[in-house]
Amino acid sequence: MSRKDLANDVWRAADIMRRDDGTNGINEYIEQISWMFFLKVFEDLENRFEAEHALQGKKYDRIIPKKYSWSEWTKKNTKEIIGFIDNELFPALGSLSGTPERDIIAQIFSEVQRNKMKSASNLKDVVDIVNEIDFNNPDDSHILSQFYEDMLVKLGRESGIAGEFYTPRPIVRLMVKMIDPKIGSEKKEFVRILDPFCGSCGFLVESYKHIVENEKITAKNYLDLQRKMIHGYEKKSLPFLVGLMNCILHGLLTPNILRKNSLNDNILNFGVDDKFDYVLTNPPFGGTENKQIQQNFPIKVQATELLAMQQVMRRLKPGGQCGIVIPEGILFRIDAFARVKEELIKNYNVHTIISLPSGIFANVTSAGQGPKTNLMFFDKKGTTKNIWYYELSSPNGKSYTKANPITDKDLMECYEKWKNKIISLNSWIVNVEEIISKNYDMTAKNPNKEETHKHKSPEQLIESITEKEKHIQELLKELKDSLMLKK
């Protein structure tokens, strides 16, 4: 089956769900198709495991009992199937336990809670489409994993939710390649990777793929890789489901993905088990948290991006590495932001900042160009001495838009220059003393380019004004809260 054929089939399934009275809106289409994909994927995997055990003369203990496997319950007639799903399948799968695999399944079906489709004939039509996909066929599985992410972008963009949990994959792949996670020596304790705001698990999936493609995987460290190395936290139910599904489609069967708001964790009490060798993340921007959550942080602010920044700093083990997507405001804002940056520079080695142009997130944003962002890389291997900056621009001279998204090729030059910290027209090095003298302003201001006045489009002007107004409102609210505390 070609990618186009598979894509057409899955969109046809979405059209069937649109006409069903029970599935209302894009979020429910994603959730419905995700749990159905999951059960089909898992049965195909279990059939393969069973065949491998049989060749070795061993009995295979199925993770999902035969009665609840995809091919069994989907045979039921239209009169029985909806009632069986609602009254038997979901309760049974939601109460599985005893192994990491069963715990993952229970987690998924506790979150989904119920089948949304009301028409048995519509559900049967979707089942027929899913039945055409052979997840034991590497081509089908690869095509579907790629298409699944395309679907997340398209459906999420239409509903305005994609930016909450989807980072453009070329950006993710660059960050993973620069962090270069390794599985570690069998003589030592396995390493651990975390995304505390994992969404669709793009960073975790790409980290897993990077390790599998670049490391020698033994039987022992394969089990560690599957069960112990990969960790993620996600606050919302739909991204949580999508993230688990994305991991499984890419061969990561038992990731440690927890449904929770990681900002609820008190970072002042972090112990050894709360710290990781690698942290890769794109935290929430522009949100606010209440005073109760702010108590979990040494520098108490409402802005989610600054709370997230404080958390990832304390998530690193000695020698650990972090790659994080940050909004432009973190680099230039003062007051609480400057205090966090002071701690960052004094206690961590910030070695790289990559300035991304507007439009990078246009492809996953419902309207406009998306936020202006930077990629920051630091490690817990000493203090900051010098920071290598790189200013990314589109190679073809055009702005990044939905129609002109960023590609892996666009980032090749950045990666090659970064390896040797080359200074060029679009890359430079700043000494930490210069940053300190500017009250910890870490903005990427390219000294190698002549300043040219460039007129912004009306859309860019409106977006810039909106961002500035939002910033002003945040500052006013913080000032008001501060005055209230002093009374």
Superfamily of 3-136 according to CATH: N6 adenine-specific DNA methyltransferase, N-terminal domain (1.20.1260.30)
Question: Percent of the chain beyond pLDDT 90?
Answer: 47
Kindly tell me if the per-residue pLDDT of 8 is higher than 90.
no
* Both structure tokens of 237: 């139910």
46: left (phi over 0), alpha (psi -120 to 50) or beta: alpha
Q: Tell me, what's the pLDDT at 434?
A: 96
Determine which of 107-111, 406-410, 452-456, 463-467 has the lowest per-residue pLDDT on average.
452-456
Closest CA to 91 of 64, 113, 65, 66: 113
Tens-place pLDDT, residues 115-129: 889 999 999 999 998
| The most confident of 28-32, 173-177, 220-224, 470-474, by mean pLDDT | 173-177
Kindly tell me if the per-residue pLDDT of 282 is higher than 90.
yes
Q: Tell me, what's the pLDDT at 2?
A: 60
* Both structure tokens of 292: 């109760």
**Band (298; pLDDT cuts 50, 70, 90):** very high
Q: Would you tell me how many other CB atoms lie within 10 Å of the CB of residue 304? A: 18
Determine which of 77-91, 129-143, 153-167 has the lowest per-residue pLDDT on average.
153-167
φ and ψ at 138, to 5 degrees? Answer: -55, -35
Q: Tell me, what's the pLDDT at 173?
A: 95
Tens-place pLDDT, residues 412-424: 999 999 999 999 9
- Overall average pLDDT of the 251-263 stretch: 90
- Overall average pLDDT of the 351-371 stretch: 79
Kindly tell me if the per-residue pLDDT of 187 is higher than 60.
no
Which residues fall within 8 angstroms of residue 447, CB to CB, at 6 or more apart?
428
**Band (204; pLDDT cuts 50, 70, 90):** very high
Q: Tell me, what's the pLDDT at 162?
A: 46
Tens-place pLDDT, residues 206-253: 999 999 999 888 888 888 899 899 999 998 877 888 888 788 878 888
Could you give the 3-state DSSP secondary structure of residue 340? helix
Kindly tell me if the per-residue pLDDT of 6 is higher than 80.
no
- Overall average pLDDT of the 150-164 stretch: 57
Superfamily of 160-449 according to CATH: Vaccinia Virus protein VP39 (3.40.50.150)
Kindly tell me if the per-residue pLDDT of 7 is higher than 80.
no
Kindly tell me if the per-residue pLDDT of 160 is higher than 60.
no
Q: Distances in Å between the alpha carbon of 102 and those of 92, 99, 219?
A: 11, 5, 21
Alpha-carbon Rg for the chain, nearest whole angstrom, is 24
Kindly tell me if the per-residue pLDDT of 452 is higher than 90.
no
Q: Tell me, what's the pLDDT at 453?
A: 43
Kindly tell me if the per-residue pLDDT of 476 is higher than 90.
no
Q: Across-strand partners of 273?
A: none
**Band (281; pLDDT cuts 50, 70, 90):** very high
Question: Percent of the chain beyond pLDDT 70?
Answer: 82
Tens-place pLDDT, residues 380-389: 999 999 999 9
Determine which of 17-26, 46-55, 258-267, 461-470 has the lowest per-residue pLDDT on average.
461-470
Structural domain spans, the chain = 3-136, 160-449, 458-487
Q: Would you tell me how many other CB atoms lie within 10 Å of the CB of residue 293? A: 18
Closest CA to 152 of 173, 130, 167, 134: 167
Contact 410, 428 (CB under 8 A): no
Q: Write down the pTM of the prediction.
A: 0.83
| The most confident of 99-108, 422-431, 440-449, 468-477, by mean pLDDT | 422-431
Q: Would you tell me how many other CB atoms lie within 10 Å of the CB of residue 130? A: 18
- Overall average pLDDT of the 336-363 stretch: 92
Q: Tell me, what's the pLDDT at 246?
A: 82
Across 37-196, where does the E strand assignment appear? 193-195
